Amino acid sequence: MLKKLLLMGCFGAAVAFTACDKDNDDPVVTEQLNQTDLTFLNNASQGNLAEIMTGQLAATQGSTDSVKAFGQMLVTDHQNAQNELDSIATGQNVNLSDSADANGQAMYNALVGLSGTQFDSAFISMQMAAHDSAISMYQTYAGSGSFSSLKSYANKYIPILQNHTMYLDTLQARLPQ
């Protein structure tokens, strides 16, 4: 009899505690992408796709091992960045393009017909401009964007983009004058 009372008391306490648990009753707060977030998401994606394309080209057409190595670094780093963006976009039901925009395609087209030091020089120059623009865009979004996972993404990749710029400075200094 005492065991039954004890069991019933424990059961009653469990039911009471479960009924008072409000953690599951609170509405889930989710962030929504606004137009600024979508613009950054799409522009960052387009930039990554252009860098992957031109990096692949440099990895095969560069005239020096250092340009080829930098091209491969671009492919690796920007593919990782794109994978993260794809994950964020998928979580928000946003479809990103799987090809570079007109500017990225124009950069690729301008490089594809070049070889030797002409290729290296044009590639480095285009990459410096593209990375300066990307750093500015990422810093602006990191400072004023509203979607937390995109802000984290921007803050994570700013140092990587800056590292690319330093590498480009080194490559440019090695170009024949």
Is 75 in contact with 60 (CB distance < 8 Å)? Answer: no
Superfamily the domain 33-174 falls into: Ferritin, core subunit, four-helix bundle (1.20.1260.10)
Cα Rg, the chain, nearest whole Å: 25
Q: What is the pTM of this model?
A: 0.81
> CA 166 to CA 11: how far, in whole Å?
66
Query: Of the candidates 105, 98, 85, which has an alpha carbon nearest to the alpha carbon of residue 147?
Result: 85
pLDDT tens string, the chain, 177 residues long: the values are: 545 544 455 455 454 444 444 454 444 547 789 999 999 999 999 999 999 999 999 999 999 999 999 999 999 999 999 999 999 999 999 999 999 999 999 999 999 999 999 999 999 999 999 999 999 999 999 999 999 999 999 999 999 999 999 999 999 999 987
Enumerate the domain spans of the chain: 33-174
